[in-house]
Amino acid sequence: MKKLFLAVLIVCPAYGFAQTDWTQFDFIKECKVDTKFPGGVAKSFKENPIFINDYSILQASLMKGSSQAGVMQKQGVGSVFSEAALAGVSQEALQSLIDDLYKEFVAEMKSAGFNITDGEALVQSEHARSKADNKNAMVGKTDGTVIFDKLGPTDPNSYDIKEQNIFRPKGINVFMTTANIPGNFYQKLATKENVNLLSIGYYVRYAAFEGSKTVSKNRLETKASLSITPVIMITNPKGSFSWITFKKGVWGGNHWSKGLVKEGSFNGSLLGLASKGEYAIHADESLYIQELRDIVSNLQKDLVQHIKAQL
């Protein structure tokens, strides 16, 4: 097998929507949102307070792709691989963005008539404090620290993401676990404190990898491609779980991309998020952040109204 990094100039979008007016986009319909709200969950959302126990942007910072050798290809044709980091987007810009988006979401929820609690009393409760020292848990107020995460082979996103940075709003209360099997971690807090728990994570990718084959050659192209997949989980005071599932991710434009660049030529100065990357998709920070803001801000408005409609 040979390892090959392809430097391809990005000229036009190959995936998703270019310069979409996100205020007119129907996220619930276009993304085929599937919601299962059992009667008990719907009732508890009306009657009990809601604690947004986790809210995060999981920004991919090093992505990978491959075009595997096929059985019908000539002997000796190897698989090719590509890695690309995200360059030009700072932690500060993403932190400011998530701070704003969280405030917008809380305001939207309150405007829709939901009783939102800041969770201060909840994270100080006996049960929450008993989980605070758990190595997989985050309990209490956030301090704005960005979490750098290398994905392991068992992570469901590791097929195309090697590294990511996790952003949470600064100064909010969080109650969450990274354990693959959380057990009754969320259920006990919800039942003991008679509260609904609502967690939202936005998985953000910036690249896509397009492979093609002939009998004698493998080719792999790295393209700028902003995509967002929301993951939403709800636990009600009776310990019942519910999910809001986006069957299709949201594909943004790539007008923010300046092209694929060789990282070494910039001496690493552009890579604010990834730990490495021989090549990087160089983003115009203001355009990247604005596209991300427009998508999530409008998506949240649709999401709140969708939740309200389920009740």
Confidence band (pLDDT; 50, 70, 90) for 216? low
What pLDDT, in 10s, does the model give residues 291-302? 999 999 999 999
CB 117: neighbour CB atoms within 10 A? 16
Residue 12 lies in a domain: no
Residue 7 lies in a domain: no
Residue 158 lies in a domain: yes
Residue 17 lies in a domain: no
What pLDDT, in 10s, does the model give residues 127-168? 999 998 888 999 999 999 999 999 988 888 988 999 999 999
Domain count, the chain: 1
Residue 122 lies in a domain: yes
pTM: 0.88
What pLDDT, in 10s, does the model give residues 32-54? 998 877 767 778 888 899 999 99
Beta strands in the chain (DSSP E): 33-35, 50-67, 80-87, 116-117, 137-141, 147-150, 161-167, 173-177, 196-213, 218-235, 241-246, 250-251, 257-262, 279-283
CB 206 within 8 A of CB 226: yes
What pLDDT, in 10s, does the model give residues 170-197? 999 999 998 878 888 999 999 999 999 9
Phi/psi of residue 278, nearest 5 degrees = -65, -35
Q: Counting beta carbons within 10 angstroms of the beta carbon of residue 310, is it exposed (0 to 12), middle (13 to 18) or buried (19 or more)?
A: middle
Residue 15 lies in a domain: no
Instruction: Decide if pLDDT at 261 tops 80.
Output: yes
Residue 16 lies in a domain: no
Residue 202 lies in a domain: yes
Per the structure, the complete domain to which residue 165 belongs is given by: 22-310
User: DSSP states of 18-49 as a string?
Assistant: SS--GGG--HHHHTTEEE---HHHHHHHHHS-
Instruction: Decide if pLDDT at 105 tops 70.
Output: yes
